[in-house]
Amino acid sequence: MKHLFFALLTLFGTATAYGQHALTYQSYAKGVTEQDTAYVKVMESGRRLKIKTVEKKLSNPIPGYAENTTYVDYAQDSVFSLMEFADGKFHSAYHLTDNDMVFSEEGIEDLLGYHCKKYKTSINSNTIEVWMTESLDFEATPMPGLGRLNGVMVRCMRNGSYITDLKEVKEQKFALIDFIPEYKGEHKTSRELNQLRKDKLVMRIPVFEDEQINFADYEPFTGEIPFDTVIHFSHGTLIVKRMKLPLLPEHYQIFAEIRQRSNGDAYDRSASVFVIPTESAKSFKDGLQDLQTLPVFVGKDGKEYQGIKAEKDYLPPIELVRFFTSFGAGHFNDRVQIDGLEWAEENHYKQEISELRDRLRGDVLIGAFIGNYDRGGHKLSLDLLAYPNDDKWSDKPLKQHSIPLFNTCNVLEMSGQNYGRLFATDSLEVEFSIPEGAENVQLRYISTGHGGWDGGDEFNPKENAIFIDGVIRFTHTPWRCDCATFRDQNPVSGNFWNGLSSSDLSRSGWCPGTVTNPVWFNLNDLKPGKHTLRVAIPQGKDEGESFSHWMVSGVVLYEK
């Protein structure tokens, strides 16, 4: 690459000539030219190009935003890209002919007033068609990454739908100094530079890093939870961290990324990542230190269920991600060897949670629970990832809002919080209010059934019925029949005489080593004001000391 570097230095080191042409290209979806439109300016001078996206100078760009300029020299077969970030400059250099794409000639066509040769190739199953004209007596393209085709690019079309067109060609005088990049900053390959841009744009917020979640004699925590400190509750099976999260604009998509591995526990365990609302007079935060402070729902079975639903002065935890550990991935990988299988070192879960963005800003309490009675337990890491969909930062108020309704995930199980067994004799009813002007109202619902024997609800499909204002509106049967797909994440799952493994078996909305996705129900027809929502499930009967239970959580979402 050194010879290319010196060639570029020689090329751009003279500034005596003047430019010849300015070309404008427009990119758009077929049939739509006003929305999602991008413009690129190509300046041509003496077989040299300067390529830059046309956009206004941003007064308030997002973190990681960069100005990118590409320089091309046809005589030297050279491309130079310069990316300028707020914290430095990075560049790459390569040859036009470095790529291995092969274009086939598809004939001659007249297009946009130009006599063109048409070319065609395929990139990763995408069909790329390019129209080039040699009638302008110079060479120019806004896409040097496609390699070198003679003439000026008139059109590029991907999959017959996304188009880049030549909109304007002007003769224009400009000093050659415009073609001299600043050779500052760190050199990267083209691939490295592209990855660097993505890494800088994505906002990664570490929450937990390789934290142990186990059953042990942790000193009980009392007092106000400090910022940026991981606190263990409920004998260590629940960890909580108080954080100050950025007030992200609404165009960011937010994901939770979880990494988990066994640290001694061999079994598939229920797990949940959640946030704790604190705007009501009573909070689940208080229950972390004293379970008796939580409001109690007494079921028809006579059992007490602590803190599971919204009350006048209380809001339950809001579940971000429901997931299930596998049978021993990581710690037990050397116990059993099966031909054709290589055990995963850890489980990886990643789920979009953008719909709960109003709960992921400012002063936030984030918790993670893995139910287990093992001294080694599990190791867990959690990051929040935010991906921008616009270059501009915005401080406009959020339109998205959430109302937590219920959550029967007994994340304080080891402190005495009851399992969700109420559905055998009762249903779960909660009141909520739709505000005036609310739009796109939906229920975000997560449900998994448990009871780990043949007759238990873990292994038997059960219809969940959702009533609104006393009328059944929705039914949903949580069921996963693809659990065998995740066999490589379950090294110590029990293997049966017939060739199946325990982790292969279908389950009520979950598999060992997977996330349970929320389901969505449309509530747009509800008028502003108070409503009731009731969940009914035909929970199976107890058998001896074995019992079934249901982990359900629900949040109403709306825009205003």
Q: Residue 14 pLDDT more than 80?
A: no
State residue 16's pLDDT score: 42
Handedness of CA 389, 393, 394, 398 (dihedral sign): positive
E-strand ranges in 282-317 read: 282-283, 296-298, 304-306, 314-315
- pLDDT tens, position by position, 511-527: 999 999 999 999 999 99
- What is the DSSP pairing of strand 162-171 with strand 21-29? antiparallel
Q: Which residues of 410-421 are buried (b: 16+ CB within 10 A; e: fewer)?
A: bbbbbbebbbbb
- pLDDT tens, position by position, 135-173: 998 999 999 999 999 999 999 999 999 999 999 999 987
Residue in this structure with the two tokens 């080191």, named with its chain if needed: 13
Over range 453-480, report the average pLDDT.
97
The larger pLDDT score, comparing residue 246 to residue 176, is at 246
For 37, 143, 167, the CA distances from 163, given in Å and listed in that order, are 10, 12, 12
Over pLDDT 90: what percentage of the chain?
84
Q: Please count the other Cβ atoms lying within 10 Å of the Cβ belonging to residue 50.
A: 21
- pLDDT tens, position by position, 414-455: 999 999 999 999 999 999 999 999 999 999 999 999 999 999
State residue 2's pLDDT score: 42
Which residue segments constitute the domains of the chain, with CATH numbers given?
2-198 (2.50.20.10), 202-559 (2.60.120.1570)
The larger pLDDT score, comparing residue 287 to residue 93, is at 287
- Per-position DSSP letters for 252-289, written without gaps between them: -EEEEEEEEEESS--S--EEEEEE---SSSEEHHHHHH
State residue 182's pLDDT score: 65
Q: Residue 177 pLDDT more than 70?
A: no
Q: Residue 456 pLDDT more than 70?
A: yes
| Residue 251: both structure tokens together | 């165009």
The Cα 428–Cα 426 span in angstroms is 7
Say which residues have a Cβ less than 8 Å from residue 35's Cβ, sequence separation at least 6. Answer: none
pTM of the predicted structure, to 2 decimals:
0.91
**Maximum separation of any 2 CA atoms in the chain, in Å:** 93
What mean pLDDT value characterizes the chain?
A: 93
Q: Are 277 and 263 in contact (CB under 8 A)?
A: no
State residue 181's pLDDT score: 67
Say which residues have a Cβ less than 8 Å from residue 108's Cβ, sequence separation at least 6. Answer: 115, 116, 117, 118
The Cα 550–Cα 404 span in angstroms is 18
- Per-position DSSP letters for 28-72, written without gaps between them: EETT-SSSS-EEEEEEEETTEEEEEE--PPPSSBPTT-EEEEEEE
- pLDDT tens, position by position, 360-396: 999 999 999 999 999 999 999 999 999 999 999 999 9
Tell me phi and psi for residue 495, to 5 degrees. Answer: -100, 130
Q: Are 418 and 515 in contact (CB under 8 A)?
A: no
Q: Residue 69 pLDDT more than 60?
A: yes
Give the residue among 203, 200, 239 at the shortest CA–CA distance from 381.
Answer: 239
State residue 30's pLDDT score: 84
Give the residue among 471, 356, 468 at the shortest CA–CA distance from 402.
Answer: 356
Q: Residue 276 pLDDT more than 80?
A: yes
Q: Residue 200 pLDDT more than 60?
A: yes
